[in-house]
Amino acid sequence: MPRLADHDARRATIVEALWRVLRRGGIAGVSVRTVAAEAGLSPTALRYYFPSQEALLQTAMVETVTSGAARVVPLLAAAVDRTGVERMLLELLPVDERQRADPETYLALAAHARSSPALAAISEETGAGIRRLARRAVGILVASGELRPELDPETTACSLDALVQGLIFQGCARPCLTSPAEIRRTLAAYLDQICRQPAPTRGSGPTR
């Protein structure tokens, strides 16, 4: 039995190899044999940590979610107004190469989830997590007094959830049609719609 430190280090090596195989050949290229070869291990050694392709794909899906959460959670904790909400939501969206890598992999795995109950459960929980995040975002706008008073917070959160998940899909699946600049504009435009317009600054009216 390997020591705990060795165990963690070897598992991390395998996960890194898994990512390289996924990004090079997609889900079809992932198997115990291909990941073991990439990690410089025998298939038998790899099966000690990940006994099947299904276990490898589950790990990849969880890692994509964990990576996104690690970026978003600190921004959510710091958000107190629209500016903070927008910064936090943008961290979820594929507005650069770094932020596109995780959702691209996640969407490929989510498509595979139709034939995998374990992946489907992770996908459903991730979707529910984004919905909860949308509710938190709208709650921040309510608390800051920025949400327009005639809007129902729950309905607004559902719309924001749909917008965010749609932008993730469009930005990854159709990047030629949905550029990072367009993603930023679309999110900003929606926040413009649901937030009160700031009161005009005294003396900022037209000059006579």
The tens digit of pLDDT for each residue in 61-117 reads 998 888 889 999 999 999 999 999 999 999 999 998 878 888 888 888 888 888 888
Separation CA 77–CA 99 (nearest Å) = 20
CA dihedral 122, 123, 129, 134 (to 10 degrees): 180
Alpha helix segments (H runs only) across 26-116: 32-39, 43-47, 53-78, 82-90, 97-112
Given a cut of 70, is residue 160 above it in pLDDT? yes
Write down the pLDDT at residue 115. Answer: 82
- Residue 145 φ/ψ region, left for φ over 0, alpha for ψ in the -120 to 50 degree band, beta for the rest: left
Separation CA 142–CA 5 (nearest Å) = 46
φ/ψ of 147, rounded to 5, equals -70, 135
pLDDT band at 139, cuts 50/70/90? very high
Write down the pLDDT at residue 208. Answer: 40
| Nearest by Cα to 86 from 199, 203, 165, 186 | 186
What pairs with residue 147 in β-bridges?
A: 195
* Each residue's pLDDT tens digit, 19-45: 899 888 888 889 999 999 999 999 999
More confident residue, 60 or 207: 60
pLDDT band at 204, cuts 50/70/90? very low
Write down the pLDDT at residue 177. Answer: 85
Write down the pLDDT at residue 107. Answer: 86
* Residue recorded with tokens 């020591």: 3
Nearest-5° angle of CA 173, CA 83, CA 139?
85
Report the chain's mean pLDDT, rounded to a whole number.
89
Write down the pLDDT at residue 121. Answer: 92
Write down the pLDDT at residue 205. Answer: 46
Write down the pLDDT at residue 3. Answer: 59
Given a cut of 70, is residue 2 above it in pLDDT? no
Write down the pLDDT at residue 201. Answer: 47
Given a cut of 50, is residue 12 above it in pLDDT? yes
Write down the pLDDT at residue 198. Answer: 65
The domains located in the chain, with CATH, are 1-51 (1.10.10.60), 53-194 (1.10.357.10)
Given a cut of 70, is residue 202 above it in pLDDT? no
